[in-house]
């Protein structure tokens, strides 16, 4: 009887230890998730580290004017990095950046299956991203306004955070190296 009682207590002890151990592991995971918060600040940090904004700022005045801004999308939407913006790149970007009602045939005016800079400009400028993203209304887009503009589109439920998987896919697709 006594042995059984002791083994029961031992089992309870083991169970309690395991419970505490898993509890600690669970707590650790929670901490990791907190550290890996995919919010607008995180995106701005990663976006800045990718150093793309400086490349897009052709006249080096630390802001993007409307043409620099437009060309930044022309460059980053070349998802397969072949130096051309073809329909498959465009389809993906139009979906990811929420260009409602965009029609490839209307954009690709000469119907050669790619967008040149002029075709892209004409199509893109029908959407008012530049003015919408210019939060301080100075007529220029600074790097934070750019990052917040992109993040605001991706965060379509407006809760200020992205799912880790979505964040990785989108970030690498457009701003990864
Ligand atoms: Ca500039
Ligand atoms: Ca391409
Ligand atoms: Ca074309
Ligand atoms: Ca501005």
* Summary mean pLDDT of the chain: 88
Q: Which pLDDT belongs to residue 158?
A: 95
Cα 169 to averaged position of ligand 4 atoms, centre (Å): 28
Tens digit of each residue's pLDDT (9 = 90 or more) over 3-26: 556 565 566 555 554 454 554 444
Tens digit of each residue's pLDDT (9 = 90 or more) over 80-138: 999 999 999 999 999 999 999 999 999 999 999 999 999 999 999 999 999 999 999 99
Q: Which pLDDT belongs to residue 85?
A: 97
Which CATH class, in words, describes the domain spanning 37-175?
Answer: mainly alpha
Please name which ligand lies nearest the alpha carbon of 139: 4
Cα 68 to averaged position of ligand 1 atoms, centre (Å): 6
- Which three-class secondary structure string do you get for the chain? CHHHHHHHHHHHHHHHHHHHHHHHHHHHHHHHHHHCCCEHHHHHHHHHHCCHHHHHCCCCCCCECHHHHHHHHHHHCCCCCCCCEEHHHHHHHHHHCCCCCCCHHHHCCCCCCEECHHHHHHHHCCCCHHHHHCCCCCCCECHHHHHHHHHHHHCCCCCCECCHHHHHHHHHHHHCC
Domain boundaries, the chain: 1-35, 37-175
């Amino acid at each position: 009887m006594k042995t059984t009682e002791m083994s029961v207590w031992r089992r309870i002890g083991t169970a309690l230890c395991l419970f505490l151990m898993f509890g600690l592991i669970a707590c650790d995971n929670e901490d990791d998730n907190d550290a890996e918060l995919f919010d607008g600040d995180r995106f701005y940090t990663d976006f800045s580290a990718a150093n793309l904004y400086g490349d897009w700022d052709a006249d080096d005045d630390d802001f993007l004017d409307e043409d620099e801004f437009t060309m930044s999308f022309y460059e980053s939407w070349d998802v397969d990095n072949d130096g051309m913006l073809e329909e498959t790149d465009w389809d993906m970007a139009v979906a990811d950046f929420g260009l409602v009602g965009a029609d490839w045939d209307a954009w690709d005016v000469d119907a050669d299956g790619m967008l040149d800079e002029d075709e892209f400009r004409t199509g893109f400028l029908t959407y008012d991203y530049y003015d919408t993203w210019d939060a301080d209304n100075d007529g220029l887009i600074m790097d934070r306004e750019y990052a917040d503009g992109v993040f605001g589109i991706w965060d379509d439920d407006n809760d200020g955070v992205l799912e880790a998987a979505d964040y990785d896919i989108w970030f690498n697709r457009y701003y990864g190296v």
